[in-house]
Structure 1
Amino acid sequence: MKIVVIGGTGLIGTKVVARLRSRGHQVIAASPNTGINTLTGEGLAEALANTDVVVDLANSPSFEDKAVMEFFKTAGANLLAAEIKAGVKHHVALSIVGVLLMQDSGYMRAKKAQEDLILQSGVPYTIVRSTQFLEFIKGIADQATDGNVVHISNVQFQPIAADDVATFVAEAALAAPVNGVTEIAGPERFMMPEMVIRFLEATGDSRKVVPNDHAQYYGAQITTSSLVPAGKARLGTINFDAWLAAQTQHA
């Protein structure tokens, strides 16, 4: 089977590409660096010729509200139009658990716009909504830091390891389209301040975590349960302690 992975050189993309190639499939790791650009359309028609499945893992280079909306709308429209022309049989996209609940965020509004384009395209699809990646914990702490204090909202948090995300996405690419949404999450649920404290302690970071009840994520208003699955989700196998041990070992 020929599979094109958009964003195939990124954190999740490299892992997805490796998993699919190990199963014997012909896989193109598509990115602007490899001459395939969904934003401009460059190289899309050539890459998608005789392609069975497209996996869209692309992310906006800018998280500014207007720029991120423009990216997902333009890139999504270009990609889906090229898929229709090429006769692609399955479109797999990685989205975010709680995206519909977090529309105060410009990024989440853009991800919803991306999902809407997929639903309207007519291309058979599977949308995989994931919780936040364990690899993002440091970034979450950094953006909430003022001086030596990390201000973290007391919200539920069920992050998933990038390796588990890649496994689920690769499985979705090899399965039949569900023409709907599946959700994936980590195997453990915490309150976000607890996890950030444990991460900082394990990595020798002296910053102090101060929980608050503002229920915000990157400045956007959310509910205390927006970041976790509301119903049934497939759970990864890598727990926080195992992931943390691997990170500190490689540091």
Structure 2
Amino acid sequence: MKITVIGGTGLIGSQLVATLRNAGHDVVPASLSSGVDLLTGAGLDEVLAGADTVVNVTNSPTFDEQSLDFFRTSGNNLLRAGERAGVRHQVALSIVGVDQVPELDYYRAKVLQEDLLRHGPTPYSIVRATQFFEFMDAVMSWTAVDGVVRLPATPLRPIASADVVQALADVATAAPLDGTLDVAGPDLLALDEIGRITLAAHDDGRRVVTDDRAGMFATVRGDVLVGGPGARLAPTHYRDWLNANLAG
């Protein structure tokens, strides 16, 4: 199967390219660095030529209102180019619970991206993932001041990026879902607890203070970010991942 990965050099994309190639597929990675520009459409026809499936794991360069324009323009360009090329399956990576947090500009932008696929000309699949293990340090940095990290007790099921990649690979090489698959980590943890686990693993002397008004996730209500009852639960536990990365 020939598969084009849009965003093929990033955290998810580079792993996905390697995973699909190891499984014997013909994979074309595409990104700005390879001359493919989703906003202008430049290079899309070339990288989609002969592709059976396209997987879009690109990210907006900003997380504010401009992200709406990014996903609107890039989504329409990719759908039109895919239709011209005869692509039979469009796959996109999104976020668990993304339609339940309209207060966040970026989440509303991802909902727009999903809607374009649902109403587009090509059979599609949407893989919604929970928050990546790899992003937890960044999440804590947003609200870290003078040795204190303030985090809300938002329930999460964080997931290893490698497990997200495997889910994407499975979906990309199967028949289109014409729907959505939630993928989540195996551990249900509050964000403030994740912060304490992370700092302890790194022997970091900072302390976590529970503050339900702190940071981006303060706007999240209830357990909308943990995945629905039919979510695919990944095998990698956060503590095991932390220990493996520290040992490596």
**TM-score, length-scaled by structure 2:** 0.96
Residue deviations 1:17-68, cap 9 Å, x none?
A: 1111011111011100011121221100111111100000000112222x21
1:205 Cα deviation after fit: 2.0
Contact persistence 1:154–1:224 (CA under 8 A): no
1:122 Cα deviation after fit: 2.2
Q: Distance in 2 between matches of 1:239 and 1:220?
A: 24
User: For residues 1-251 of structure 1, what are the structure 2 equivalents within 5 Å?
Assistant: 1-65=1-65, 67-214=66-213, 218=216, 221-250=219-248
Contact persistence 1:105–1:220 (CA under 8 A): no
Give the letter for the 1:165 counterpart: V
Contact persistence 2:152–2:217 (CA under 8 A): no
Give the letter for the 1:12 counterpart: I
Q: Please give the secondary structure, in 1, of the residue aligned with 2:138.
A: helix
Q: Distance in 1 between matches of 2:154 and 2:131?
A: 13
1:201 Cα deviation after fit: 1.4
| Identity fraction in percent | 44
1:146 Cα deviation after fit: 2.5
Give the letter for the 1:18 counterpart: A
Q: Distance in 1 between matches of 2:185 and 2:46?
A: 37
Q: Distance in 1 between matches of 2:228 and 2:86?
A: 35
Q: Distance in 1 between matches of 2:144 and 2:225?
A: 20
Q: Distance in 2 between matches of 1:217 and 1:172?
A: 33
Q: Distance in 2 between matches of 1:224 and 1:248?
A: 32
Q: Distance in 2 between matches of 1:224 and 1:150?
A: 21
Q: Please give the secondary structure, in 1, of the residue aligned with 2:27.
A: strand
Q: Please give the secondary structure, in 2, of the residue aligned with 1:176.
A: coil
Structure 2 gaps, min length 5: none
After alignment, is 142-151 or 161-170 more displaced?
A: 142-151
1:212 Cα deviation after fit: 2.2
Residue deviations 1:124-167, cap 9 Å, x none?
A: 00000000001111011001222221111111110000110000
Q: Distance in 1 between matches of 2:173 and 2:228?
A: 26
Q: Distance in 2 between matches of 1:230 and 1:86?
A: 34
Q: Please give the secondary structure, in 2, of the residue aligned with 1:248.
A: helix
Contact persistence 1:72–1:113 (CA under 8 A): yes
Give the letter for the 2:112 counterpart: A
**TM-score, length-scaled by structure 1:** 0.95
Q: Please give the secondary structure, in 2, of the residue aligned with 1:121.
A: coil
Q: Distance in 2 between matches of 1:58 and 1:248?
A: 28
Q: Distance in 1 between matches of 2:104 and 2:141?
A: 18
1:213 Cα deviation after fit: 3.2
Q: Distance in 1 between matches of 2:183 and 2:111?
A: 17
Q: Distance in 2 between matches of 1:77 and 1:71?
A: 10
Give the letter for the 2:247 counterpart: Q
Runs of 4+ residues deviating >3 angstroms: none
Residue deviations 1:194-232, cap 9 Å, x none?
A: 111110111122221101234x65166111312111321
After alignment, is 146-155 or 83-92 more displaced?
A: 146-155
Contact persistence 1:104–1:220 (CA under 8 A): no
Give the letter for the 1:167 counterpart: Q
Contact persistence 1:131–1:184 (CA under 8 A): yes
